[in-house]
Amino acid sequence: MTALTVNGRPVAFDLDPATPLLWALRDAANLTGTKYGCGVGDCHACTVIVDGEALRSCLVTLAEAEGRFVTTIEGLSRDRSHPVQQAMVAEQAIQCGFCTPGIVMAAAALLAKNAAPGEAEIAAALPNLCRCGVYPRLVRAVERAARVAARRETIGAAPAPGISAEDAAKAVPAMDPGA
């Protein structure tokens, strides 16, 4: 058994200690928000926060995670209200969304250490690959998230899934069919 804390809950994994944390989270804990992209450390899609550090969970073994505090995208906020989540939606920095959980976790870890990162610092902290190419929006989103976290700006709640097209258009002007 390998004991660690995942999203605030103590968890004991009955798996080979050499198992990558990514597989323990996805396949054993059913936390599938953390994505498998390359499995070899290149894409950062699998990024989670371990004791405050953004780490690629495909490169961390269960044995290395023992006794540590792991946060996945599911544990970042209960209602998608984390400033990075709000800003990613508001800046439309999400296309297919596959890379998004890893990016959000890396950005959240960055802002926890650096309340006002510059563009170069954001680029350095987010080497995540995005096949949809959201990079310019990503920088804007993280800068905006920093302002939201500092309470210098607020972002209205994103429409919930299943919202009607009319209501979505009210919340997202670019989607207004009458515009």
**Smallest distance from ligand FES to CB 26, Å:** 10
Q: Indicate whether 33 belongs to the interface with ligand FES (CB under 6 A).
A: no
* 58 is a contact residue toward ligand FES (CB under 6 A): yes
Residues 63, 140: Cα–Cα separation, whole Å: 37
Q: Angle 78-140-106 (CA atoms, 0-180°, nearest 5)? A: 50
| Residue 56 lies near ligand FES (rule: CB under 6 A) | yes
Alpha helices in the chain (DSSP H): 21-23, 62-65, 73-76, 83-90, 100-113, 119-125, 135-149, 165-171
Residues 6+ apart with CB under 8 A from 96: 131, 132
Binding of ligand FES by 92 (CB under 6 A): no
Task: Write the interaction track for ligand FES spanning residues 138-177; mark x where CB under 6 A is met and - where it is not.
Answer: ----------------------------------------
Report how many residues bind ligand FES under the rule CB under 6 A.
Answer: 22
List interacting residues with ligand FES (CB under 6 A). Answer: 36-39, 41-46, 56, 58, 94-99, 130-132, 134
